[in-house]
Amino acid sequence: MTDSTDAGAIRPAEGYAGDVTPQQAQQWVAAGEAVLVDVRTDAEREWVGFVPGAVAVAWKQWPGMAMNPHFDAQIQAAAPSGTKLVLLCRSGVRSIAAARRATELGLQAYNILEGFEGDPNAQGHRGQVGGWRKHGLPWRQN
C-alpha cells in the first residue's frame, strides 16, 4: 500500500498529528491508509447522519454531554497497529480534544477540519458552510 500523505495537506497542530481537510481524510480512508472515527454522540449520528464504515467512538454522550468513560479502550480498539486515525465531529472542535487524547494513548490521530456539518451560516444553520456533507463526501441518514 502506498502512502498518499501530502505534507502540504496536513496543517500542523499542537498535541496531535495535525488537521486535514475532509477530502484528504476521505482519500486516506478510501486507500486503506486511515480509519475514520466519528466522535459525535450516538444521537447526532442517528438524527443528523453518519459516514458509512466509520467507527463510532463518542467523545461525549448525550444527554448532558458527559465524557465517554470507555473512550480510551474504544479508540485503541479502532486503530489497527500503525494505522492513522482521522477523527470527525460536528464542526471540528470535539475531534481536536479526542485527537489529543488518542495521541496521548500513542495513536497517530488527525482532526478533520470543518467536521460533519461545518460552521453555521449567517442564519445559524449548519450544513451550508463547509463540512463533510457539504463537500459531497459519502454519508447516509436514517
Domain that holds residue 63: 16-112
Q: Is residue 126 part of a domain?
A: no
Q: Is residue 4 part of a domain?
A: no
CA distance 39 to 123: 26
Q: Which CATH number covers residue 64?
A: 3.40.250.10
Q: Which pTM does this prediction carry?
A: 0.90
Q: Contact 19/8 with Cβ under 8 angstroms?
A: no
Give pLDDT tens digits for 34-64. Answer: 999 999 999 999 999 999 999 999 999 988 8
The pLDDT value given to residue 114: 95
Q: Is residue 105 part of a domain?
A: yes
Give pLDDT tens digits for 95-110. Answer: 999 999 999 999 999 9
Tally of structural domains, the chain? 1
Q: What is the dihedral of CA 69, 71, 77, 80, to 10 degrees?
A: -160
Q: Is residue 140 part of a domain?
A: no
Q: Is residue 82 part of a domain?
A: yes
Query: What do you get for the CA distance between the two ends of the chain, in Å?
Result: 34
User: Exposure string (b/e) for 29-45, b if CB count within 10 Å is 16 or more?
Assistant: beeebbbbbbbbbeebb
